[in-house]
Amino acid sequence: MSEPRTPVALAIAGSDSGGGAGIQADLKAFAAVGVHGTTAITAITAQNTVGVDAIHAVPPEVIVAQVAAVAADIGVDAVKVGMLGTAATIDAVVEALALTGDAPVVVDPVMVSESGAGLLDDGAREALVERVLPLATVVTPNLPEARAIAGLGESASLEELAAAIRALGPAAAIVTGGHADGTDLLDDGTGTLAIPGPVHADGAAHGSGCTHSSTLAALLAIGFPLREAAIEARLRAGEAVAAGLRDVGAGAGPVDALAIASRRPRPPLP
């Protein structure tokens, strides 16, 4: 009898030179869950804990080639899509996702960095909504991103935001609550699920969104159903923020996804 295959999660996202967010955060979150992480880098950023100084988009054909190389040899059990940046990058990622089979796709619609820098061109927002969201198993916007995607005002509830986003094509939406009371709201088409969690106002925050979405993708890669994965991802992301590296950099220090690496989640029974 053959040994069980190691699950593989693919991150399609930008590189953060400061190591707090993007591909770097994704790989740490994948490792903490116990899956093998692979990558397709969409952009190289020069950034640290206080700001983004430069962004260089990776050529679209190189993005597709990265995914093709991984899919052909290693395989893909789940995908996390993060920073896209430009319409040309979105075109490449849509093409690349066709190479990943039926692997679940978690889309973190990164629009602005945690330091306030724009990470998605204005012209690319429409392409993100129209071309990427319909390919998603689940979309994980924070509250400002959810309002921008849904086109609803500040008075809209989490339930209204999640329903409006799911109506754009993804199978499910999770509006994360870090900008509010800490409660995530999942709408998967069968109803809504509120997932409470603590707010760490004095903790590290850099990379919290990336860590949450990549943890969710890793849990889906090892076979967790979406609702159970959403609950566990909220818990683990909160713990990573609480253990944040407050002494790294002059800004909001990075979350510490590896702080909980010893607590590997058990795959669900078949």
Write out the chain's pLDDT in tens, 270 residues: 456 789 999 999 999 999 989 999 999 999 999 999 999 999 999 999 888 899 999 999 999 999 999 999 999 999 999 999 899 999 999 999 999 999 999 999 987 655 555 667 777 889 999 999 999 999 999 998 999 899 988 889 999 999 999 999 999 999 997 656 779 999 999 999 999 987 765 555 667 889 999 999 999 999 999 999 999 999 998 888 888 888 888 887 888 888 777 777 776 655
> What's the pLDDT at 264?
75
Q: Contact at 8 Å (CB) between 224 and 265?
A: yes
Enumerate residues 6+ apart whose C-beta is below 8 A from 72: none
Enumerate residues 6+ apart whose C-beta is below 8 A from 79: 9, 10, 11, 12, 97, 100, 103, 104, 105, 106, 217
> What's the pLDDT at 1?
47
pTM over 0.75: yes
One DSSP character per residue, 23-56 reads HHHHHHHHHHHT-EEEEEEEEEEEE-SS-EEEEE
Distance set, CA 5 to CA 35, 74, 75, 241 (Å): 10, 11, 11, 30
- Identify the structural domains of the chain with CATH numbers, from first to last: 8-137+203-254 (3.40.1190.20)
Q: Which two tokens stand for residue 157?
A: 């509830």
